[in-house]
Amino acid sequence: MERLNWLVNRGVDEERCGNEAVAMVPPDVPAKVRRFHKQIPGFRATPLKSLRRLADMFDVGGIWVKDESQRCELTSFKVLGGSYAIYQLLKRRLGEAGELSFAELTSPRVREEVGSLTFAAATDGNHGRGVAWAASKLEQQAVIYVPRGTSPARMGAIRSHGAEVHVVDGTYDDAVEQIQHDAEDRGWVVVSDTAWEGYEDIPRWVMQGYSTMFAEAQEQLVGVGVPQPSHVFLQAGVGSLAASAVAFYRCLLGKHAPQFVVVEPSKAACLFESVRIGEGKPYKFAGALDTIMAGLSCGRPNPLAWRVLRDCAQFFVACPDYVAARGMRMYAVPLEGDPFIVSGESGAVTLGVLSFVMQRPELAPLRERLGLGKESEVLLINSEGNTDPDHFRQVVWEGAHAVPPGVTVSAASG
């Protein structure tokens, strides 16, 4: 039986953390990113929702959910990174050092100067859809590679924005490798949320694009009288979302930043295993990566994200699929008075983990190390909505991936 595993990151380094955070999301960047995003037609801040009754049940001060299921029409945060990266790419092609408006980007002048471009991305669903959406808004083309087993619903959502979709006979990591080769041969511009040797600027822009989400959340928390979260639970595939959050809060609050809990699927726990090995470098996670958390099904950490998480994130969790499924059901069937939230597998896993931490006696050591209590304000990111309707119904309606009876948890050394 699969178990939930956790470890404390012994490699946290305060000085390196501060340097990596500033390099990733410099203090002036979030405001620039938000100015760009606010110009996109139909763009608006997503809501921050309070699970007040659940917080009372768990005996914590508050549980706050940044609900990215309502981001534009995409039901995912990923559009934030893809759109900002494409914006920066076009600026570079135009030789523009300053900021450009969205109207200028879509103007005939810009179209004539940059020509017709094809943006390419490998994805397990949401990132590719975000790139396709941004490309369509800028009247450019997109080609998206997806791994074997990607659901028809996810591929259909990408195609709905006019992109070509190609299925690679392999994992997400195989799709990343394949698109590198094909893009070079065909003159496509790769917009990836993970980096490799000689390719770092675009993934960094993607991660900076995510800062809009955290800037909104922090503004919304302050608006309801909460100065900052005490804990942030962050789902991770290659680690870009998690590292963006960590960098944002470290730059904003320094050593007073929240505690960070990085959550991965047990079947794709590349960051967890890299921390457990403890040699300070990222390792590939072997296996088929066959988790229901399609958005987190990644075997290689993003090297840029790894450096931030290695130096800054205090806790790492690797959890079975049933933890994510439990989180989906908790969002879909809330306590009376709490809001109903539509959350997919990758979006709900952090709530599932929080529920295990607060309710399982075997996890008391982790709960105590985290210091979760009446003064705690916990921030969760619902990173996606119902992106795979058939599977969503299987989990929420039919109880697929139920928590096994007698399940146990363990702490790994690290």
pLDDT band at 215 (very low <50, low <70, confident <90, very high): very high
Mean pLDDT value across the chain: 94
CA distance 106 to 260: 39
Which whole number is the average pLDDT over 350-363? Answer: 96
**4-75+207-411 CATH pick, 3.40.50.720, 3.40.50.1100, 3.40.50.920, 3.40.50.300:** 3.40.50.1100
Bridge pairing between strands 377-382 and 62-67: parallel
Residue 411 pLDDT level (bands cut at 50, 70, 90): low
**Rounded to whole angstroms, what are the CA distances from 261 to 13, 77, 244, 313, 409?**
16, 19, 13, 7, 16
In this prediction, residue 412 carries a pLDDT of 60
Going by their DSSP bridges, the two strands 62-67 and 48-50 should be labelled as antiparallel
CATH architecture of 79-192: 3-Layer(aba) Sandwich (3.40)
Q: Work out the average pLDDT over 263-277.
A: 97
Q: Do residues 202 and 180 make contact, with C-beta atoms less than 8 angstroms apart?
A: no
Q: Which of 124, 173, 311, 388 is catalytic?
A: 124
59 is catalytic: no
Q: Which residue shows structure tokens 């190609």?
A: 166
pLDDT higher than 70, residue 274 = yes
- Write down the pLDDT at residue 287: 81
Contact 248, 23 (CB under 8 A): no
**Residues 345, 290: Cα–Cα separation, whole Å:** 13
- Residue 185 structure tokens: 């041969």
Instruction: Please state the rounded mean pLDDT for residues 362-390.
Output: 96
Is the pLDDT confidence value at 214 over 60? yes
In whole angstroms, what is the distance from residue 53 CA to residue 382 CA? 18
pLDDT digits (tens, 9 = 90+) for 93-143: 999 888 888 888 888 888 889 889 999 999 986 899 999 998 998 889 999
Read off the pLDDT of residues 222-255 as tens digits, 9 standing for 90 and up.
999 999 999 999 999 999 999 999 999 999 999 9
DSSP string covering 97-116, please? -S---HHHHTSHHHHHHH--
The answer to whether residue 387 scores a pLDDT higher than 60 is yes
pLDDT of residue 408: 67
Q: Which of 66, 78, 137, 267 is catalytic?
A: 78
Q: Is the pLDDT of residue 413 over 60?
A: no
Inter-residue contact 294 to 388 (CB < 8 Å): yes
78 given a catalytic annotation: yes
Q: Is the pLDDT of residue 144 over 90?
A: yes
What confidence tier does 41 reach under pLDDT thresholds 50, 70, 90?
A: confident
Q: How many CA atoms lie within 13 A of 300 on its CB side?
A: 14
Q: Name the residue among 205, 256, 220 with its Cα closest to residue 66.
A: 220
Residue extents of the structural domains in the chain: 4-75+207-411, 79-192
Please determine, for residue 367, whether its predicted confidence score (pLDDT) is greater than 60: yes
SS3 state of residue 156: helix
Q: Which residues pair with 141 in a beta bridge?
A: 118
pLDDT of residue 1: 63
